[in-house]
Amino acid sequence: MAKKERVLVLGNQACVEGAIYAGMRFYAGYPITPSTEVAEGCARELPKIGGRFIQMEDEIGSIAAVIGASVAGLKSMTATSGPGYSLMVENIGYAYMTETPCVIVNVQRGGPSTGLPTKVSQSDTMQAQWGPHGDYTAITVAPSTILETVTETIRAFNLAERFRTPVTVLLDEVMGHSRQIISLPEPGEIEIFNRVKPTVSPEEYLPFEITENYVTPMPAYGEGYRYVITGLTHDQKGFTTNKPEEIAPKLHKLRHKIIDYKDEITKLRAEMMDDAEIAFISYGSVSRAALQATDIARKVGVKVGCLQLQTIWPFPDKEIAEICGGCRKVIVGELNMGQIVNYVRSALPGDIEVVPLQRYDGEILTPMQLIEKLEEVL
């Protein structure tokens, strides 16, 4: 086998590569630092493969166009940062309700409000789950390297198509703007999932059917299945409903189609966890520092491990409890004032001490800071 070509790739460009690999053929977005290179990459690359790029008038319109393109049959994506994500939450909620697959990339910067456009943060972690109002269960993935940005973006599309739901890819300014030399996956190397199409006749088709495994086939507009897509609570035919016996099953589906299949969604990377007494738990760019800190501490004999959450939502509580079951303490490193630390706390038994390590001044957590915290709690 020929040796793979090695290329220097920017994080945001890696996201574009992953999306196109996954079959993304429609991008709508609005410029915002530090995500703009995703839009620029799509504007450049999509015409080459017959795809479509559009710069919309704002982020609300961007996610609306993405959803429109998805129901028309194209895999679609948008990318933004916190202020833009805040504008998008209205229609991300619509995508949850209408079970429309799409991918939203959030290259996080500091907040609240316009905050720190050029500085790193992970303070939109909660927003990725709880952005829109109402009850639903979100899927959020978070890569920590440039190669993972490719593969996790592919995974985000696969999950969106498999579960008919919007999926958020959480990057951050450091992830989006760092470069690494990587080998891109070859065609066929990573499996691509495409949405299930109906096999029944249009007369028999129920667009929001609650099936046993919650998989509801989805036709594209123009394929002969004419139905209503509405953000109002609807029955299995798609018609709006006020009936309690139809409302509860719909909401039940939005939750259980995700949490009942958490095993398919959850992905973690555990390094040196087998005999670890102390674990770093982190995600995104912090995981790179945590891995380096783990390496350094191991060299001097400290039994420390590193657990990276590649899936943040639904929260992998069961897996964290399994992997960290033998630890005395865990250090949860985040670039925010503590968004997952309480989830970790409730996932673990009370005798495992959960130590927060937070930074929210626009700078990264360095390996040395993680080691200092480790020394503190040893």
Partner 1 sequence: MATAVKEKQKSNVVLDYLRPGKAMPTVWCAGCGHGIVMNGIIRAIDKTGLSKDEIVMASGIGCSSRMPIYLDFNALHTTHGRSLAFATGVKFARPELKVMVVTGDGDALAIGGNHFIHACRRNIDITCILLNNYIYGMTGGQGSPTTPSQAFSTTTPYDNAEKHFEPTKLAIAAGASYVARTTVYHAPQMEKLILNGLLHRGFSLIEVISNCHTYFGRLNRQGDAVKMINDFKERSVPIARAKSMSAEELEGKIVTGLLHKKETTEFCDVYQSVVDRVQKGM
Triad 231, 203, 234: Cα angle to 5°: 20
> Based on CB atoms, which residue is closest to partner 1, 36 or 70?
70
> Among 4, 8, 31, 58, which residue sits at the site for partner 1 (rule: CB under 8 A)?
58
The contacts of residue 116 (CB under 8 Å, 6+ apart) are: 109, 110, 362
67 touches partner 1 (CB under 8 A): yes
Among the listed residues 141, 94, 110, the one whose alpha carbon sits nearest the alpha carbon of residue 33: 110
Angle (CA) 301 307 308, round 5° = 135
* Shortest distance, position 79 Cβ to partner 1, whole Å: 15
| Interacting residues with partner 1 between 180 and 209 (CB under 8 A) | none
Structure tokens at 324: 């960290």
Residue 48 in the binding site for partner 1 (CB under 8 A): yes
Q: Which is nearer to partner 1, 45 or 124 (CB)?
A: 45
Pick the stretch among 45-53, 158-166, 249-257, 268-276 that binds partner 1 (CB under 8 A).
Answer: 45-53
DSSP code for 33:
T
Position of tokens 């360095």? 366
For 322, list phi and psi in degrees, rounded to 5. Answer: -65, -50
Pick the stretch among 65-73, 178-186, 259-267, 294-302 that binds partner 1 (CB under 8 A). 65-73
**Partner residues linked to 118 by β-bridges:** none
Q: Is 47 in the site for partner 1 (CB under 8 A)?
A: yes
Q: Does 65 bind partner 1 (CB under 8 A)?
A: yes
Residues 215-244 that bind partner 1 (CB under 8 A): 220-224, 226-232, 237, 239-240
Near partner 1 by CB under 8 A: residue from 15, 32, 64, 87: 64
The least distance separating partner 1 from the CB of residue 238, rounded to whole angstroms, comes to 8
Q: Please say which residue, 238 or 356, places its beta carbon nearer to partner 1.
A: 238
| Contacts of partner 1 in 82-111 (CB under 8 A) | 90-91, 94
d(CA 60, CA 246): 29
Which candidate, 34, 176, 170, places its Cα nearest to that of 104?
170
Phi and psi at residue 191, to the nearest 5°: -70, 140
Binding footprint of partner 1, residue count (CB under 8 A): 43
* Phi, psi (deg, nearest 5) at residue 198: -70, 150
| Residue 162 CB, nearest approach to partner 1 (Å) | 21
350 binds partner 1 (CB under 8 A): no
73 touches partner 1 by CB under 8 A: yes
* One residue of 60, 190, 270, 302 binding partner 1 per CB under 8 A: 60
- Give the range of 61-69, 147-155, 269-277, 353-361 binding partner 1 by CB under 8 A: 61-69
Cβ contacts of 118 within 8 Å, gap of 6 or more: 33, 34, 109, 173
Place of tokens 């919007």: 166
What DSSP character marks residue 48? G
Token pair of 54 as six digits: 């559009």
Q: How far is the CB of 105 from partner 1 (least distance, A)?
A: 17
Q: Which H or E run includes 22?
A: helix 11-22
Q: Quick one: which of 42, 74, 258, 291 contacts partner 1 (CB under 8 A)?
A: 74
Rounded distance between C-alpha atoms, residue 226 and residue 311, angstroms: 35
Task: Please tell me whether residue 26 binds partner 1 under the rule CB under 8 A.
Answer: yes
Tell which residue, 130, 125, 129, has the closest CA to residue 142: 125
Q: What is the DSSP letter of 366?
A: P
Least distance (Å) between residue 140 CB and partner 1 = 22
Choices 47-55, 106-114, 148-156, 178-186 (CB under 8 A): range interacting with partner 1: 47-55
**Beta pairing partners, 27:** 53, 77
Pick 18 or 68: Cβ nearer partner 1: 68
Residues in contact with partner 1 by the rule CB under 8 A: 26, 28, 47-48, 50, 52, 54, 56-58, 60-62, 64-74, 76, 90-91, 94, 220-224, 226-232, 237, 239-240
